Chain A
């Protein structure tokens, strides 16, 4: 990001965070957190193979693909 972008963003994020931090005004010492509105836990299906996405169709949309794989710049020994 450019310096002027960083400056503008710092100010905006500061304003937003100050507003969001209002949540600390509430007393929640014995209140459990809610991560999710439904009481569903560990929704599973039977371990049976099913058709998946068509590999060629998926690779056709990749920015760079080679030999049935996604091709990326080097990962190891990166500076």
Chain B
């Protein structure tokens, strides 16, 4: 059942939140030994929450728009008193003393959190193979990756653990796993959703967003989590219009642009490119006009990202020093303690990125690397702005290929990074983008098509997504 239908049934008293929960916990129990989407199943806490929802319904109260709907939470979202590990040994067993704003909001809306899901360590990766606790497997084919870094959340929704999940997206970490697992995944406009309680990777790029099996469910969840938060100074101050009421307004008259540099890039497989062309035709039949558009600087997005994101990460991850929380490996003095702790606590990809970032920011190299990458970021924003003068939404692949096999790219970091060439430019620009499942490719594996919109262009983006979904 969809979240919309479930919430409706619970709110009316037709189903109990507790029964709904037990059904979903049974699915998790049946499949997670194989899939490993969950770092932790929070069944005790979930039962208490479900009982409170049922009690509210019994008193004639409305528990909220997500009444009784199970939801999975990426394990980089702080949940007070419940372990939050970022799938890293350096935070293994650590329980935050506070809860992320998005989690507070979904709880206040009546949702029932069932699990903390697996991710690439500190959200760095595109396959969930960088988790310190073992990879997650793709529910559509367990010999393959679910994508990353929010692979656990994508797999949880695809496998039926919960109709909804929250993930985070810094370079594609919601959209790419959504595409590989055959579900809907949204990266909202930067600043639309509070980052308070999201353990930071790259502060100017990170955004929290929804996973769901339908566009309407994704809109339902986004409406709950979006909106200004005084606890996040990078949160957009203006009020946000809800998406659920406008979803079915259609795409009549929409100007849709297929981004050439992304769709025609080296490495985009034929089945994926073909899905984008079919999506364009579908939107045309629904009343849109479609053309190709060049956004030239997006070709440099990956390069700029692999200077900016590691630079910001090197700063954000400096706090893991064995002093206040997490792992500590002792030393004769504090410097030795820091070094030993970080060597033992961080995995290879995290170490790579911290070193890259430190280098990109170091004296003598700052301007050539980080400084230049920031200027390229401006060029990307300008090129998108020019495109959006002529188009309402843009189209591209989400992932260059369908899900690849576990181990296929783990020995070649650059090959892994190339998974994100289509998703990265949106994070650099701070714009909105989402992946919508659109057919199957090689081996019957799911393909996701990416819809891009300018900052605060969620309405147009969701309307286009609905049009694509309705045609399947």
Nearest opposing residue in chain B for A44, CB measure: B233
Contacting A at CB under 8 A, from B207-230, are 230
Chain B 356-389, CB-CB to A under 8 Å as 1, else 0, gives 1001100000001101111111110100000000
Cα distance A36–B317 in the bound complex, in angstroms: 19
Contacts of B413 in A (CB 8 A): 12, 15-16
Q: Are A37 and B369 in contact (CB under 8 A)?
A: no
Q: Is the CB of B302 within 8 A of A17?
A: no
Using A23-B307, A37-B429, A37-B430 as known contacts, say yes or no to A62 and B325 having CB atoms under 8 A apart: yes
Q: Are A24 and B372 in contact (CB under 8 A)?
A: yes
Q: How far is the CB of B232 from chain A (nearest CB, A)?
A: 9
- Our count of residue pairs bridging A and B at CB distance below 8 angstroms stands at 144
**In the complex, A15 Cα to B352 Cα: how many Å?**
12
**Residues in A26-79 with C-beta less than 8 Å from chain B:** 26, 28, 31-38, 40, 43, 45, 53-54, 57-58, 61-64, 70, 72-75, 78-79
Given contacts A13-B356, A64-B328, whether A35 and B374 have CB atoms under 8 Å apart is yes
* Contacts known (A61-B325, A62-B325, A78-B334); A33 close to B352, Cβ less than 8 A: no
What is the interface of chain B mostly: helix, strand, loop, or mixed?
Answer: helix
Partner of B300, one of A15, A26, A54, A74: A26
Count of interface residues, chain A, beta-carbon cutoff 8 Å: 42
B289 at the binding interface (Cβ < 8 Å): no
Interface size class of B (residues with CB under 8 A): 35 or more
Q: What are 15 inter-chain pairs, A to B, with CB distance below 8 A?
A: A9-B355, A13-B359, A16-B352, A17-B359, A20-B307, A21-B303, A24-B368, A26-B297, A26-B375, A31-B378, A40-B233, A53-B98, A62-B324, A79-B332, A79-B333
Which residues on A are within 8 Å of B, measured CB to CB? Answer: 1, 9, 12-13, 15-17, 19-26, 28, 31-38, 40, 43, 45, 53-54, 57-58, 61-64, 70, 72-75, 78-79
